[in-house]
């Protein structure tokens, strides 16, 4: 079961790499590899070495990661502006990266509330940067594991932040590809969506080898050799994760093809390794 921490008071947030947190800095972590490739500085030599290996197999990984992040921004804006969503449960948050989800949705509706969840101690250490809500809204951070939905749903952070009579958007951006078992992913999604009212949404991105099988299969092997169980999935499997929900137009597509802005529209299908989709609970 994932550990569940209480609210992190702003004054107690600690500086980079505190001695009391075991960051396992000698092995690569997905959050820190992602941070490094996106230009962040919260990473260690092991993460940078692994990122070098991954980009040798996946030459468009930096572009693909930016396209994934850009999808998060576009889809969150649509959820807030067009669907009136004011509550967001973001699991697999990653290290703070501007703009963070709450900054995107609070630009549309300052009263929006976001509960961030990650299981990596490095993200916990930096959670202060996620607790910068507009005064009209609220953000909370929970240290928990995706595969323990009960701990997430029963957490004080979620209960104190959300009104579960109102729709919630479950945001699973670049996380389920770290869970190799399709059945586990499906069960957890079902359990997380079950208590949410009609009108709630699911936004998801995950790695695929459908367009660039040689690159992605080599990349998956490189991630796994570094202890990160990356898993690529085909379109049918990803569509299956939305079962019982109504997929919004245009369905499950590569991340840059979901209502592209100018930057996304300039990308080709060989440059993006991520499927994306957004669906509504009827
Ligand atoms: C590639 S990052 C994605 C960050 C962000 N969602 C984005 O797309 O910009 C994946 C994040 O998922 C987290 N993660 C991986 N497995 C997890 C699990 N089982 N439970 C919770 N978080 C997990 C990692 O710690 C990391 O921060």
268: which residues sit within 8 A by CB, 6+ positions away? none
Domains and CATH numbers, the chain: 21-280 (3.40.50.150)
pLDDT of residue 262: 97
Span from the CA of 190 to the centroid of ligand 1 (angstroms): 19
Span from the CA of 29 to the centroid of ligand 1 (angstroms): 10
pLDDT of residue 67: 98
From the alpha carbon of 95, which atom of ligand 1 is closest?
Answer: 27
Residue nearest to atom 9 of ligand 1 (CA): 69
pLDDT of residue 17: 52
226: which residues sit within 8 A by CB, 6+ positions away? 27, 28, 50, 53
8: which residues sit within 8 A by CB, 6+ positions away? 124, 127, 128, 131, 141
pLDDT of residue 25: 80
Residue nearest to atom 13 of ligand 1 (CA): 92
Reference 42, options 128, 117, 103, 116; nearest CA is: 128
Mutate to test the pocket of ligand 1, among 40, 43, 144, 178 (most ligand atoms within 8 A of CB): 178
In a structure prediction context, what are the per-residue pLDDT tens digits for the chain, which is 282 residues long?
233 333 333 223 334 455 555 667 889 999 999 999 999 988 999 999 999 999 999 999 999 999 999 999 999 999 999 999 999 999 999 999 999 999 999 999 999 999 999 999 989 988 888 889 999 999 999 999 999 999 999 999 999 999 999 999 999 999 999 999 999 999 999 999 999 999 999 999 999 999 999 999 999 999 999 999 999 999 999 999 999 999 999 999 999 999 999 999 999 999 999 999 999 999
Give the residues surrounding ligand 1 with Cβ less than 6 Å away: 30-31, 34, 68-69, 72, 91-94, 118-120, 123, 145-147, 173-175, 178
The two tokens of residue 125 are 């250490």
Span from the CA of 78 to the centroid of ligand 1 (angstroms): 22
Span from the CA of 235 to the centroid of ligand 1 (angstroms): 21
Residue nearest to atom 12 of ligand 1 (CA): 92
- Given a contact cutoff of 8 angstroms between Cβ atoms, the answer to whether 58 and 218 are in contact is yes
pLDDT of residue 128: 85
Mutate to test the pocket of ligand 1, among 93, 148, 219, 258 (most ligand atoms within 8 A of CB): 93
SS (H, E, C) the chain: CCCCCCCCCHHHCCCCCCCCCCCCCCCCCHHHHHHHHCCCCCCCHHHHHHHHHHHHHCCCHHHHHHHHHHHHHHHHHHHHHCCCCCEEEEECCCCCCCCCHHHHHHHHCCCCEEEEEECCHHHHHCHHHHCCCCCCCEEEEEECCCCCHHHHHCCHHHHHHCCCCCCCEEEEECCHHHCCCHHHHHHHHHHHHCCCCCCCEEEEEEECCCCCHHHHHHHHHHHHHCCCCCCCCCHHHHHHCCCCCEECCCCCEEHHHCCCCHHHHCCCCCCCCEEEEEEECC
Span from the CA of 84 to the centroid of ligand 1 (angstroms): 26
- Given a contact cutoff of 8 angstroms between Cβ atoms, the answer to whether 191 and 151 are in contact is no
The two tokens of residue 111 are 């009263």
The two tokens of residue 35 are 């941070």
65 torsion bin: left (phi>0), alpha (psi -120 to 50), beta (else) = alpha
**Kind of pairing between the strands at 169-173 and 138-143:** unpaired
Span from the CA of 91 to the centroid of ligand 1 (angstroms): 7
pLDDT of residue 7: 34
Alpha-carbon distance of 245 to 13, in angstroms, equals 38
Alpha-carbon distance of 49 to 42, in angstroms, equals 14
């Amino acid at each position: 079961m994932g550990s569940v921490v209480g609210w992190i008071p702003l004054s107690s947030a600690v500086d980079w790499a505190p001695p009391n947190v075991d960051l396992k800095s000698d092995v690569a972590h997905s959050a820190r590899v992602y941070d490094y490739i996106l230009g962040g500085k919260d990473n260690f030599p092991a993460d940078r070495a692994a990122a070098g290996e991954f980009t040798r197999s996946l030459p468009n990984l930096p572009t693909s990661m930016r396209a994934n992040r850009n999808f998060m921004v576009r889809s969150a804006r649509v959820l807030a502006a067009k669907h009136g969503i004011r509550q967001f449960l973001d699991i697999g948050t990653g290290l703070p990266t501007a703009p963070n989800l709450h900054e995107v949705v609070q630009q549309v509706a300052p009263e929006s509330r976001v509960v961030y969840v990650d299981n990596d101690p490095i993200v916990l250490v930096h959670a202060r940067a996620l607790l910068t809500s507009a005064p009209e809204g609220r953000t909370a951070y929970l240290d928990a594991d995706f595969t323990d939905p009960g701990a997430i749903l029963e957490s004080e952070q979620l209960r104190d932040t959300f009104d579960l009579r109102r729709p919630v958007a479950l945001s699973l951006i670049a996380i389920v590809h770290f869970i190799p078992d399709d059945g586990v992913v499906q069960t957890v999604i079902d359990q997380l969506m079950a208590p949410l009212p009609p009108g709630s949404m699911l936004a998801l991105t995950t790695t695929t080898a459908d367009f660039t099988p040689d690159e992605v299969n080599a990349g998956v092997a490189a991630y796994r050799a570094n202890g990160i169980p990356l898993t690529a999935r085909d379109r049918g499997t990803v569509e299956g994760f939305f079962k019982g929900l109504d997929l919004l137009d245009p369905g499950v597509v590569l991340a840059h093809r979901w209502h592209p802005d100018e930057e996304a529209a300039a990308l080709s299908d060989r440059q993006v390794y991520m499927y994306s989709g957004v669906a509504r609970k009827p």
